[in-house]
Structures are given as C-alpha cells and as structure tokens.
Structure 1
Amino acid sequence: MPDAILRIALPSPLRRLFDYRAPPGVPRSALQPGARLRVPFGRRELIGILIEVTDHSEVPAGKLKPALQLLDAQSPLPPALFKLCLWTAQYYQHSLGDTLSWALPVLLRQGEPAEVRQERFWHLVDGARLDDPRLSRAPRQREALQTIAQHPHGVAHQLLGQLQLNKDSLGQLREKGLVRVEIRRHAASERHLNWLAEPELPLNPEQRAAAEAVRTGFGRFNAFLLAGVTGSGKTEVYLQLIRETLEAGKQALVLIPEINLGPQTLARFERRFNARIALLHSGVNDRERLDAWLAARDGEADIIIGTRSALFTPMQRPGLIIIDEEHDASYKQQEGLRYHARDLAVVRAHQENIPILLGSATPSLESLHNAHSGRYAMLHLHQRAGGAQQPRFLRLDVKSRPL
C-alpha cells in the first residue's frame, strides 16, 4: 500500500489544502479527518486540520514533508460544526484552514489537548502518621501533613495557597511517602431534576401566543422573528422556552451582542435555572473558554451564553438557538473571517434541524424582509409586560423659549 498522503487545512489566507506525509510511526488507521496535526510550514510550525487521507498528490513524493505530530485521536470538531465551517468558508470566500482555526478556542489553535481540565488533589497516604520520626525536626511539614489529614477527600492543588500549604513542604512529604497526588477530571456541576430555581413569571396573552408558536416548532427547523417593544417581556419568553428545551434533554445557545451584557444575563439565568451554564466571550481567559467549549461539546453545559464567536460552540444535544437584539451591528465580524453571526446562526439551525428565535424591539430590515417574504414566522409583542404603561410623549414648541 502506498504511503498515506494527508491533505491538511492550515491557518493561512491561501484558499487551498497542503499535502504532507503521515508523521513517523503513526498508522493510517489513526488518521481521522478533523484531527489536528502539527506540521512544518516554511520556517514555522503550524497547527492544521486533517481534511482527507489519500494515496496521490500533485507534489512530487520527494518534496513532501512529513507532519510532525498527530495531536488528536479523533476530531475535536463534531461533524455538525465541521459542516458549518465548510459552508462558512465557501459562502464568505475565506480560506478553509483559517475558518476552522477561527472556530476553535485559542488553546486548541496552539496545540493544547482537547480534553477537559485535569485537577490535582493531595491525599494522605494510608498508614501515614503525624508523629512520624522523620518530621521531628520539620515543623512545617508536620503542619502541612496535619492539614491534609483534615481533608479525607483530598485538597485541590489550586487551594493550597488559601490553606497556607507550602508546595516545597508537600513535595518533601511526597518524597517521604506520606502524601500522594491524585489526578481527577474536572467535575461538572450536578444535573438537577427540577430545572427552575425560582418561579416563572406569568405570561400575558401576546407572550403566551409567541411562546406557543415557537414551542410547536420544536424538533425541526423553524425561524421566528419576535418583534417586541421595549419592556414587552421578550426575555421571559426566552427563559420559558429554554426551560422546555432543558426538560426535553436538549441544550440551548443564546447569543448576546455585547460583552457588557454577559454578567447580567448570566446572573439572571443562574437565578432562574438549576442548570449548568457556560459563558463564552473575549472577556474570559483562554483556559476558561476552552473548558466552557468542551463542556458544551460533551453535553455537560445545558445553556451556552456568548457573543458572536460563541456561534461556533459545539453542542452534543442542540435544541434551540436564540439571538437577542438581532439587529445589533456587533454580530458582524469585521476582521479576519468576516461573517454575520445572526445569519450564520440561521444556517446552523437549519443544518441541525432545530428552531431559532431572533428577538428585537427594532428588527433589522433584512429580518423584516425575511418575515414578510415568509422565510421567518413573525411574532409581535405590542404591550409592555406586567401591566407597565407606555411612556407618554408631549410635543413642545421650544422656538420661543429662552435658551
């Protein structure tokens, strides 16, 4: 059998694939499309995505370089997200390698493992004694051993500073065989049987009609435009639809236009739901973003909240996409891969066969056109929620008034 030729998409503006030989010692069966590889590229090393394995190349065999390292046993990108990236690269005329790189968290672009964070826990070794003679002249080590003994389930490495535990002392205790280190997978928060942490607000007739229209579209692709005046209770409609999505065992993706809305949106969702919520935007650090991305991919996050780039967050059980303030210009990416997150969200919902709800007090002209042409179902909220009254407006002729 001829040597395997790898066709790899690299983060480059060139809209083409690059051919490499397989890394030394890596069998053909281990090379799965979507996996990341570290490859030489000029004087640099880049992280690329394997697109296909073939037996032929237009490049002479003698000029083909071997890839340096296979980073994944399987693709970190689920098939649905991979398909979305292919569509995005073609529609926006952008290089496939750059598009795939854009869809990955920064740490995955840099070659970090696509695995949930591992945590170190310090434990007392069975049979270890506080009166061990080797500690007679090591008071700090004895104090550290006593603290560890008070935590039968172990002490997380990240909490050592808070417990005033000295890492050097623990290292010496480990050399003496008195403590041990256990590596655990980062634990996801517990799934609750009752999703509501607080009661839902009553819906007025318009809100109920809007929620019912979206509810009947569950389980298949439908696009809805919810046009509601300020204070009409669009968010309460979102929350009740998300609760039904969670009860169906599905995940919900909520896009917001600005980073500044993240904390208040997260706080409101946390008050309402006993759910595992992932927050993704440029304000969180790279490690937190990767953890949230992986939690969503593995189905450990029930609700994903983020700005435009969160559109590329994988979901194991997609059920609903919500775009809040869909008219906002912040959904347009203006550098690198130029795309509109609102429009791509509709494409993603269609590909994954789930409903999408676009909400705004001032819908964009594009969305209004789609609603009037029948592509979107139009939903209206004319009244303010909770009995609130519309503001009164008075017209004053100020021409004759003093400045």
Structure 2
Amino acid sequence: MKKFVDVILPLPLPRCFTYSLPEEWADEVQMGCRVVVPFGRKKYYTAIVRNVHYCEPTDYEVKEVSTLLDARPILLPEQFKFWEWLADYYLCTQGDVYKAALPSGLKLESETMVEYNPDFESEVRLPEREQKILDLLSAEPEQCVTKLEKDSGFKNILPVIKSLLDKEAIFVKEELRRTYKPKTETRVRLTDEMRNEKRLQELFDELARAPKQLDLLMKYIELSSILGGDGLKSFPKEVTKKELLLRASASPAVFNGLVDKHIFEVYQQEIGRLYAVVRDTLPINPLNEHQQAAHDEIVQCFQSKNVCLLHGVTASGKTEIYIHLIEEAIRQGKQVLYLLPEIALTTQITERLQRVFGDRLGIYHSKFPDAERVEIWQKQLT
C-alpha cells in the first residue's frame, strides 16, 4: 500500500503539504526526519516530516519525495509541540518557525548551476563578457553562478547568464548542495600486514638503516600502546598524524616514507567541534546568611507559583543562589535552562558554572559558527 508524508516546508505557508514516498524509503522514514521535496516548477526544499500515513489526497496531483536525508529523526515530538505553540503565540506559520529554528547547516540550499552546451555554435562574434563566461565553462562545464561571478570578475552577472540562456549557449538547473561538513582529523595506524608481532620484529631490523623512520615507528608504538605485556593489542589507542609528528620531531617526508612502504596507513576520523570540559569540579560554595534566606524564600515561592523575582544589585551574590537551585533541580532528575541577557556575560558565568557542573553544562549563543550549531543540535537529540 502506498505511503504518504505530510511535511513542513521552510516557507510562510499556512499548512503542511503531502508527498508520496518511494518504496525503497517507505519503511525507513519517520516523523521528524528530513526529506528533499520539489515545490514549484524548479525549486527543491528540505522539509520536515510531520506525519506518515496512507491517505492519498484527491484534490491535487501528489509529487514524490526526492531524497531521504536522515536515518533517524532530527526533531523530537516535544519540539513539534513547541513549534506549534510558537506559531500560535506569535501568529506565524510553522514554516516560519522551522526556518528560524533549524541551523542552516541542516538545510539544503537550492543553488543555480550553469551548464555549458557543447553543441552551441555562434554565427556572430559574442560580446566580450559572454565569451569570457563561455571560456570559463569550457574549462569546467558545470559551475554555480557564484563561482562564475568570482572567477570572471564581473559584477551583476545575471544579465549575461540570461543572454546566454536565450541563445541556448548554456543550460541552467537547480542543484542541491550541503552546507555542513563534519570536522575530521587525520589519524595513523599500522597496515593489516604489519599487525603481527613477528613482522614487527623483522621491521625493526629492516629499518636499522633508516633511523629516522625507525624512531617514528617506535614513537607510534609508544603513543598507541599497541604492544603490551600480553602482546599485540586488538584495540590500540588512536594516534593523530599531527601529534605523532610533533612528539617524534619528525618531518612529513619521513612519515610519507613509512606510508610508501605500506607500514603506516592514514584515515580520516570524524571529530566533534564541541569539546567536553576537562577539569576537576569543585564543591558548591556554602551560602551566607542573606543568600540562604533568599534561597529559602524562592523554594517556598515555587511551591505555590512557577515564577519568582530575585532582586539584587551587581555582585550581590545572586549567581551562587542560582547554582544551588540548579544543583537541586538536577538532583531531582530535571533540566535547567539558564538564560543570560547579553553575550558579554557568557564567559564569566560559564566559567563559574563549569567549576561546579563540569561537562554537564552545554553552551549555546549567537557567536557559534553554523557547523557548531549543527553539532549542538545533534547532541541534544542523544
């Protein structure tokens, strides 16, 4: 039986739109996953699946989902409810909320691509600007408008593109591109052939005439702890190329020599841009008499109301009271959202919170680049 999905588009539209699902994704798509869908004549958008069902619309022809982007949802049911509340409260559509809420790195952008027509022949000499564009395209037959504008040095290139389109010298198509790229680092390991104690012993003798390569290999063995008292370990520590060269004071040429001899192999490992706080936490400072009195009044107020105003001048000790209240909420299995009125306070406050809560603290503000916003979004799903 044919499956359909209702999706939220990042557009100010008052309702969801329904698309059919190809059979190969019918059992994989879930509510909260991203899909690429056609909308309009030549536009493609990243949409969020709001519902999966078997009811085919009868009042219009249903288009098909182009691509499934996620193996698991990137939006939780609680977030859908929150989006609905935001749209109702601020008198806007859920598409507006989606466009504002999701980091742009999780959205695919439809970018105009220009493609060279190899069959084009002009009976007259082309204007200089048009010929320059065609020369660039002949070297690289498919380019985006942004790149052509940069390489040609022309400003306002669109009239030139339109003129070439009218002459059928080029074609234009819409192509989706990903804006988020995971951060990776280069790591090193022994090749499968070398992961043998006897072969390693032979290797030490073979490299006797190449002392720099032997030193580099020995430093790798030290850093990875691949050799232990029980022999060769199945899961040694991972070693980065950067750290290995630094610790061994070796040159890239020496390293490449071991790669060429099929002793080392390099691989790319995805790493997070968000680093956990590596520091020892400290116990909470005890409250003084006045802070304790304010703390007790706040706790008493929360028993009858869900809001309380704490008034105090700068440096009067309010943050210590907040820290105690946060610790009590976490101990009860709850979560805490700590909002600051301005970004300038971020460093000062987060350092104080990290001393108590360590890597349980997550930080988010407008100065984060988009790649980090993507990782923060993904982290909150786990």
Which band: TM-score by shorter chain? 0.5 to 0.7
Deviation of the 1:37 alpha carbon: 0.8
Deviation of the 1:11 alpha carbon: 0.8
Unaligned 5+ residue runs, structure 2? 109-176, 225-236
Deviation of the 1:19 alpha carbon: 2.2
Equivalent residue number for residue 327 of structure 1? none
Equivalent residue number for residue 281 of structure 1? 365
2:190 counterpart of 1:124: yes
Equivalent residue number for residue 86 of structure 2? 88
The letter for the 1-side match of 2:328 is E
SS across alignment from 1:31: coil
2:321 counterpart of 1:237: yes
SS across alignment from 2:337: strand
Preserved CA contact (<8 Å) 1:117 1:291: no
1:200 to 285, 292, 304: 285
TM-score, normalization by structure 2: 0.62
Counterpart CA distance in 1 for 2:298 and 2:278 is 25
Equivalent residue number for residue 262 of structure 2? 176
Deviation track 1:90-123 (CA, whole Å, cap 9, x = no partner) reads 2212221231232223322349799997776423
Equivalent residue number for residue 69 of structure 1? 67
Counterpart CA distance in 2 for 1:157 and 1:80 is 42
Preserved CA contact (<8 Å) 1:85 1:96: yes
Counterpart CA distance in 2 for 1:146 and 1:120 is 19
Equivalent residue number for residue 57 of structure 1? 57
Distance 1:161 1:297, change over 3 A: farther
Deviation of the 1:238 alpha carbon: 0.7
Equivalent residue number for residue 29 of structure 2? 31
Distance 1:252 1:161, change over 3 A: farther
Distance 1:65 1:157, change over 3 A: farther
Deviation of the 1:34 alpha carbon: 1.4
Larger Rg over CA atoms: 2
- The percentage of counterpart residues that share the same residue type is 30
Preserved CA contact (<8 Å) 1:38 1:46: yes
Counterpart CA distance in 1 for 2:31 and 2:371 is 25
The letter for the 2-side match of 1:208 is Q
Preserved CA contact (<8 Å) 1:123 1:179: yes
2:335 counterpart of 1:269: no
Q: Which stretch shifts more, 172-181 or 134-143?
A: 134-143
TM-score, normalization by structure 1: 0.59
Equivalent residue number for residue 225 of structure 1? 309
Counterpart CA distance in 2 for 1:122 and 1:234 is 49
The letter for the 2-side match of 1:8 is V
The letter for the 1-side match of 2:76 is P
Preserved CA contact (<8 Å) 2:184 2:268: no
Indicate the structure with greater helix content. 2
Equivalent residue number for residue 291 of structure 1? 375
Equivalent residue number for residue 344 of structure 2? 260
Equivalent residue number for residue 3 of structure 2? 4
Equivalent residue number for residue 47 of structure 1? 46
Counterpart CA distance in 1 for 2:242 and 2:301 is 45
Deviation track 1:131-166 (CA, whole Å, cap 9, x = no partner) reads 468878988765654443231112136757755674
Counterpart CA distance in 1 for 2:329 and 2:252 is 47
Deviation track 1:282-324 (CA, whole Å, cap 9, x = no partner) reads 21222323333333332xxxxxxxxxxxxxxxxxxxxxxxxxx
Preserved CA contact (<8 Å) 1:118 1:184: yes
Counterpart CA distance in 2 for 1:123 and 1:291 is 27
The letter for the 2-side match of 1:204 is E
SS across alignment from 1:77: coil
Deviation of the 1:185 alpha carbon: 7.2
Preserved CA contact (<8 Å) 2:212 2:254: no
SS across alignment from 2:63: coil
Deviation track 1:51-91 (CA, whole Å, cap 9, x = no partner) reads 11232225533xx3221211223321222222111110122
The letter for the 2-side match of 1:149 is I
Preserved CA contact (<8 Å) 1:72 1:113: no
Counterpart CA distance in 2 for 1:274 and 1:123 is 32
- The aligned length equals 291
Q: Which stretch shifts more, 134-143 or 244-253?
A: 134-143
Counterpart CA distance in 1 for 2:327 and 2:316 is 19
Equivalent residue number for residue 108 of structure 1? 106
Give the alignment's Cα RMSD to 1 decimal.
4.1
Counterpart CA distance in 1 for 2:251 and 2:360 is 31
Counterpart CA distance in 2 for 1:119 and 1:221 is 50
Distance 1:295 1:71, change over 3 A: same
Equivalent residue number for residue 330 of structure 2? 246
Preserved CA contact (<8 Å) 1:23 1:69: no
SS across alignment from 2:320: helix
Counterpart CA distance in 2 for 1:212 and 1:30 is 51
SS across alignment from 2:32: coil
Preserved CA contact (<8 Å) 1:198 1:273: no
Counterpart CA distance in 1 for 2:244 and 2:303 is 47
Distance 1:123 1:77, change over 3 A: same
Distance 1:177 1:40, change over 3 A: farther
